[in-house]
Amino acid sequence: MKADRTKVTRLLKTARGQIDGLLKMVEEDRYCIDISNQLMATEAILQKVNKEILHDHLGSCVKEAINTGEEGKKMEEIMAIMDKLMK
């Protein structure tokens, strides 16, 4: 992985903390809208992590594959990821 490991790790730990908070909210039978808002905040962090990783993948792994003439597999991988993201 070429992404900024420190940044990615920090964001994932934040998401993990939010998930722990969500579990506690459910156990405490908190208000549904509060839980939903917290879920959306957690999803936003995970989307940010994914964007960071994919951005760096394009700038390093895919760029390197294009420069060496081996872009076929990398392009297939990117298209498959895009298909999943657009569902």
Q: What is the pLDDT of residue 87?
A: 84
pLDDT per residue as tens digits for the range 50-73 = 999 999 999 998 989 999 988 899
Q: What is the pLDDT of residue 1?
A: 76
- From 18, 5, 86, 16, select the one nearest 52 (Cα to Cα): 5
Torsion sign, CA atoms 12, 16, 17, 18: positive
Q: How much is the average pLDDT of 2-17? A: 93
Give the position of tokens 């964007």: 51
Q: Whole-model pTM? A: 0.84
Taken in order of first residue, the domains within the chain and their CATH numbers are: 5-85 (1.20.58.1000)
The answer to whether the CB of 62 falls within 8 A of the CB of 32 is no
